[in-house]
Amino acid sequence: MKILLVGSSSQISEKIKKKLKFNFFGISTSKLKAKKIFNINSYNKTNINKAIAYFKNKNLFFDAVIFFNGFHKSSLYTFFNEELFNQIIKKNLLFP
């Protein structure tokens, strides 16, 4: 079974890769260099499309896609910043 992990360098993702014996591939914003990881600068539509094209060119298709990418800052309840709020919504809800 081939599984694509978006946000593949997260702590949860790393633990899953160690526990489960599947064929994992990843998309990550970390600078880790690995054979099965496609690195991007940020999670936006352009970069995700580049990653999809990369995997298609390698003739890789996945049985499952799991999202671990995320973005957060200090509580928005005590310090509301509209620009930061929009950035969090964009990265956590719109792009996955």
Q: What is the pLDDT of residue 43?
A: 81
- DSSP for 4-31, please give it: EEETTTSHHHHHHHHHS-SEEEEEESS-
pLDDT tens for the chain, 96 residues: list them: 999 988 877 777 888 888 888 999 999 888 777 789 899 988 888 998 999 999 999 999 999 998 876 655 555 566 677 787 777 777 766 665
Global pTM exceeds 0.95: no
Q: What is the pLDDT of residue 66?
A: 85
Q: Report the run of H or E that residue 84 belongs to, with start and end.
A: helix 82-89
Q: What is the pLDDT of residue 74?
A: 59
